[in-house]
Chain A
Amino acid sequence: MNIAIDQTLDCKGLSCPMPMMKLAKAMKGMKSEEVLEMIGTDPGTKSDLPRWCNKSGNVLLDEGELEGGIFRFLIQKK
Protein backbone atom coordinates (compact mmCIF):
# COMPACT_ATOMS: atom_id res chain seq x y z
CA MET A 1 0.00 0.00 0.00
CA ASN A 2 1.52 3.29 -1.11
CA ILE A 3 0.02 6.20 0.82
CA ALA A 4 1.40 9.74 0.85
CA ILE A 5 2.13 10.88 4.39
CA ASP A 6 1.60 14.55 5.26
CA GLN A 7 2.83 14.49 8.84
CA THR A 8 4.59 12.11 11.22
CA LEU A 9 3.97 12.02 14.96
CA ASP A 10 6.60 10.21 16.99
CA CYS A 11 5.19 8.99 20.31
CA LYS A 12 7.87 6.43 21.10
CA GLY A 13 8.51 6.18 24.84
CA LEU A 14 5.37 8.07 25.80
CA SER A 15 2.82 6.49 28.11
CA CYS A 16 -0.97 6.67 28.08
CA PRO A 17 -2.67 9.17 27.78
CA MET A 18 0.01 11.28 26.06
CA PRO A 19 -0.02 9.55 22.65
CA MET A 20 -3.77 10.04 22.31
CA MET A 21 -3.55 13.66 23.44
CA LYS A 22 -0.78 14.38 20.98
CA LEU A 23 -2.71 12.63 18.23
CA ALA A 24 -5.90 14.58 18.92
CA LYS A 25 -3.93 17.83 18.93
CA ALA A 26 -2.04 17.01 15.72
CA MET A 27 -5.21 16.00 13.90
CA LYS A 28 -6.86 19.30 14.81
CA GLY A 29 -4.15 21.08 12.84
CA MET A 30 -4.56 18.97 9.71
CA LYS A 31 -6.71 19.45 6.65
CA SER A 32 -9.40 17.08 5.49
CA GLU A 33 -8.03 13.94 3.74
CA GLU A 34 -4.46 14.59 4.89
CA VAL A 35 -2.68 11.56 6.32
CA LEU A 36 -0.86 11.38 9.64
CA GLU A 37 1.65 8.66 10.44
CA MET A 38 1.83 7.89 14.14
CA ILE A 39 4.46 5.67 15.67
CA GLY A 40 4.54 4.68 19.31
CA THR A 41 5.41 2.05 21.86
CA ASP A 42 2.65 2.27 24.48
CA PRO A 43 0.50 -0.89 24.31
CA GLY A 44 -2.58 1.12 25.30
CA THR A 45 -2.41 2.96 22.00
CA LYS A 46 -2.98 -0.27 20.10
CA SER A 47 -6.60 -0.47 21.19
CA ASP A 48 -7.17 3.19 22.00
CA LEU A 49 -6.27 4.55 18.60
CA PRO A 50 -8.71 2.49 16.47
CA ARG A 51 -11.42 3.28 19.05
CA TRP A 52 -10.57 6.99 18.83
CA CYS A 53 -10.78 6.91 15.03
CA ASN A 54 -14.10 5.13 15.18
CA LYS A 55 -15.49 7.70 17.61
CA SER A 56 -14.09 10.79 15.93
CA GLY A 57 -14.91 9.70 12.39
CA ASN A 58 -11.30 9.85 11.19
CA VAL A 59 -10.17 6.92 9.06
CA LEU A 60 -7.62 4.37 10.17
CA LEU A 61 -5.98 3.48 6.85
CA ASP A 62 -3.38 1.09 8.13
CA GLU A 63 -1.95 -0.34 11.33
CA GLY A 64 1.05 -2.54 11.85
CA GLU A 65 3.87 -3.51 14.10
CA LEU A 66 7.49 -2.66 13.33
CA GLU A 67 10.54 -4.24 14.91
CA GLY A 68 11.30 -3.57 18.56
CA GLY A 69 7.68 -3.35 19.75
CA ILE A 70 6.93 -0.20 17.78
CA PHE A 71 3.42 0.30 16.45
CA ARG A 72 2.66 2.31 13.32
CA PHE A 73 -0.69 3.76 12.32
CA LEU A 74 -1.83 5.75 9.32
CA ILE A 75 -4.82 7.97 9.98
CA GLN A 76 -6.68 10.07 7.45
CA LYS A 77 -8.42 13.20 8.63
CA LYS A 78 -12.14 13.13 7.85
Chain B
Amino acid sequence: MAKLCMGLFSGSLDKLTAAGVIMSGAAADDMDVEVFVLLQGARAFIKGNENKIDNLAEASHLKGEFTQALKDLNVSTWYEFFEMAKEMTNVKIYICSLAGKIWGGEKLEDFNGLVDDLCGIGEYLTAAEEADIHMFI
Protein backbone atom coordinates (compact mmCIF):
# COMPACT_ATOMS: atom_id res chain seq x y z
CA MET B 1 0.00 0.00 0.00
CA ALA B 2 1.35 3.41 -0.96
CA LYS B 3 2.22 5.72 1.88
CA LEU B 4 1.82 9.49 2.19
CA CYS B 5 3.85 11.40 4.74
CA MET B 6 2.85 14.96 5.56
CA GLY B 7 4.73 17.56 7.58
CA LEU B 8 1.98 19.88 8.78
CA PHE B 9 3.65 23.06 9.94
CA SER B 10 0.72 25.41 9.31
CA GLY B 11 -2.18 25.86 11.70
CA SER B 12 -4.14 28.22 9.46
CA LEU B 13 -7.63 27.49 8.19
CA ASP B 14 -6.71 27.49 4.50
CA LYS B 15 -3.73 25.17 4.84
CA LEU B 16 -5.47 22.86 7.29
CA THR B 17 -8.31 22.58 4.78
CA ALA B 18 -5.83 21.77 2.01
CA ALA B 19 -4.23 19.13 4.23
CA GLY B 20 -7.69 17.66 4.91
CA VAL B 21 -8.57 17.54 1.21
CA ILE B 22 -5.28 15.88 0.27
CA MET B 23 -5.60 13.38 3.11
CA SER B 24 -9.16 12.58 2.03
CA GLY B 25 -7.97 11.97 -1.52
CA ALA B 26 -5.32 9.64 -0.14
CA ALA B 27 -8.00 7.85 1.88
CA ALA B 28 -10.13 7.38 -1.25
CA ASP B 29 -7.04 5.87 -2.88
CA ASP B 30 -6.59 3.55 0.08
CA MET B 31 -3.19 4.95 0.98
CA ASP B 32 -1.65 4.93 4.44
CA VAL B 33 -1.13 8.43 5.80
CA GLU B 34 1.21 9.70 8.49
CA VAL B 35 0.93 13.33 9.56
CA PHE B 36 3.60 15.01 11.65
CA VAL B 37 2.31 18.20 13.18
CA LEU B 38 5.01 20.81 13.66
CA LEU B 39 5.17 24.20 15.40
CA GLN B 40 2.19 26.36 14.31
CA GLY B 41 0.19 23.32 13.30
CA ALA B 42 -0.01 21.99 16.84
CA ARG B 43 -2.20 24.88 17.99
CA ALA B 44 -5.10 23.54 15.90
CA PHE B 45 -4.91 20.15 17.64
CA ILE B 46 -5.08 21.39 21.23
CA LYS B 47 -8.36 20.16 22.69
CA GLY B 48 -11.11 22.74 22.10
CA ASN B 49 -9.18 24.72 19.49
CA GLU B 50 -10.59 22.97 16.41
CA ASN B 51 -13.36 25.52 15.89
CA LYS B 52 -11.27 28.52 16.87
CA ILE B 53 -9.01 28.37 13.84
CA ASP B 54 -9.98 31.21 11.53
CA ASN B 55 -6.78 32.81 10.27
CA LEU B 56 -5.56 32.37 6.69
CA ALA B 57 -1.94 31.88 5.66
CA GLU B 58 -2.53 33.50 2.29
CA ALA B 59 -4.87 36.17 0.92
CA SER B 60 -5.92 36.97 4.47
CA HIS B 61 -7.59 40.19 3.27
CA LEU B 62 -10.08 37.93 1.42
CA LYS B 63 -10.97 35.86 4.46
CA GLY B 64 -14.66 36.78 4.29
CA GLU B 65 -15.02 35.68 0.67
CA PHE B 66 -13.02 32.52 1.29
CA THR B 67 -14.99 31.31 4.29
CA GLN B 68 -18.31 32.27 2.69
CA ALA B 69 -17.42 30.30 -0.46
CA LEU B 70 -16.53 27.24 1.62
CA LYS B 71 -19.94 27.52 3.30
CA ASP B 72 -21.82 28.06 0.03
CA LEU B 73 -20.11 25.06 -1.55
CA ASN B 74 -20.98 23.00 1.50
CA VAL B 75 -17.33 22.08 2.00
CA SER B 76 -16.58 20.11 5.14
CA THR B 77 -14.49 21.75 7.86
CA TRP B 78 -10.80 20.88 8.09
CA TYR B 79 -11.61 18.84 11.18
CA GLU B 80 -14.33 16.86 9.40
CA PHE B 81 -11.94 16.04 6.54
CA PHE B 82 -9.42 14.70 9.04
CA GLU B 83 -12.14 12.66 10.78
CA MET B 84 -13.48 11.20 7.52
CA ALA B 85 -10.00 10.28 6.32
CA LYS B 86 -9.28 8.58 9.64
CA GLU B 87 -12.48 6.56 9.36
CA MET B 88 -11.63 5.42 5.84
CA THR B 89 -8.00 4.54 5.95
CA ASN B 90 -5.00 4.17 8.19
CA VAL B 91 -4.24 7.79 9.15
CA LYS B 92 -1.91 8.46 12.06
CA ILE B 93 -1.44 11.91 13.46
CA TYR B 94 1.60 12.70 15.57
CA ILE B 95 2.35 15.95 17.35
CA CYS B 96 5.93 17.07 17.59
CA SER B 97 6.57 17.20 21.33
CA LEU B 98 8.20 20.63 21.19
CA ALA B 99 5.31 22.07 19.16
CA GLY B 100 2.83 20.67 21.66
CA LYS B 101 4.60 22.34 24.58
CA ILE B 102 4.66 25.69 22.81
CA TRP B 103 0.86 25.70 22.72
CA GLY B 104 0.37 24.21 26.16
CA GLY B 105 0.04 20.50 25.28
CA GLU B 106 2.35 18.22 27.24
CA LYS B 107 0.35 14.99 27.23
CA LEU B 108 -1.82 13.14 24.73
CA GLU B 109 -4.94 14.09 26.73
CA ASP B 110 -4.24 17.76 26.03
CA PHE B 111 -5.00 17.19 22.33
CA ASN B 112 -8.19 16.45 20.42
CA GLY B 113 -9.36 12.99 19.38
CA LEU B 114 -7.59 13.07 16.01
CA VAL B 115 -4.16 12.81 17.60
CA ASP B 116 -2.58 9.36 17.98
CA ASP B 117 0.62 10.21 19.80
CA LEU B 118 3.40 12.66 20.48
CA CYS B 119 6.69 12.17 18.67
CA GLY B 120 10.22 13.39 18.12
CA ILE B 121 11.48 14.94 14.91
CA GLY B 122 13.52 11.84 14.03
CA GLU B 123 10.32 9.84 13.56
CA TYR B 124 9.11 12.40 11.05
CA LEU B 125 12.33 12.19 9.05
CA THR B 126 12.31 8.40 9.06
CA ALA B 127 8.67 8.35 7.93
CA ALA B 128 9.45 10.84 5.15
CA GLU B 129 12.37 8.69 4.06
CA GLU B 130 10.18 5.60 3.85
CA ALA B 131 7.07 7.18 2.29
CA ASP B 132 6.15 7.13 -1.40
CA ILE B 133 4.99 10.74 -1.22
CA HIS B 134 6.21 13.38 1.17
CA MET B 135 4.80 16.88 1.43
CA PHE B 136 5.31 19.83 3.74
CA ILE B 137 2.36 22.13 4.32
List chain A positions with a Cβ less than 8 A from chain B: 13-18, 20-21, 23-25, 52, 55-56
List chain B positions with a Cβ less than 8 A from chain A: 21, 24-25, 27-30, 73-76, 84, 88
A25 to B88, CA, bound (A): 7
Which chain B positions have C-beta within 8 A of A23?
28
Task: Check A17 against B24 for contact (C-beta < 8 Å).
Answer: yes
Tell me whether A55 and B28 are in contact in the complex, defined as CB-CB below 8 angstroms, given that A16-B21, A21-B84, A25-B88 are known contacts.
no
Tell me whether A21 and B21 are in contact in the complex, defined as CB-CB below 8 angstroms, given that A13-B74, A15-B73 are known contacts.
no
A56 to B29, CA, bound (A): 7
Partner of B29 from the list A13, A14, A15, A52 (CB cut-off 8 Å) is A52
The smallest beta-carbon distance between B84 and chain A, in angstroms, is: 6
Partner of A17 from the list B28, B30, B74 (CB cut-off 8 Å) is B28
A13, A18, A23, A25 pick with most chain B CB within 10 angstroms? A18
Closest to B76 in A: A18
23 contacts between A and B (CB under 8 A): A13-B74, A15-B73, A15-B74, A16-B21, A16-B25, A17-B21, A17-B24, A17-B25, A17-B28, A18-B24, A18-B76, A20-B28, A21-B27, A21-B28, A23-B28, A24-B27, A24-B28, A24-B29, A25-B88, A52-B28, A52-B29, A56-B29, A56-B30
The smallest beta-carbon distance between A10 and chain B, in angstroms, is: 14
Task: Check A21 against B29 for contact (C-beta < 8 Å).
Answer: no
Which chain A positions have C-beta within 8 A of B25?
16-17, 20
Task: Check A21 against B30 for contact (C-beta < 8 Å).
Answer: no
The smallest beta-carbon distance between A42 and chain B, in angstroms, is: 10
Task: Check A15 against B75 for contact (C-beta < 8 Å).
Answer: yes
Task: Check A24 against B88 for contact (C-beta < 8 Å).
Answer: yes
A72 to B16, CA, bound (A): 31
A74 to B25, CA, bound (A): 20
B28, B29, B30, B73 pick with most chain A CB within 10 angstroms? B28
Closest to A28 in B: B88
Which chain A positions have C-beta within 8 A of B21?
16-17
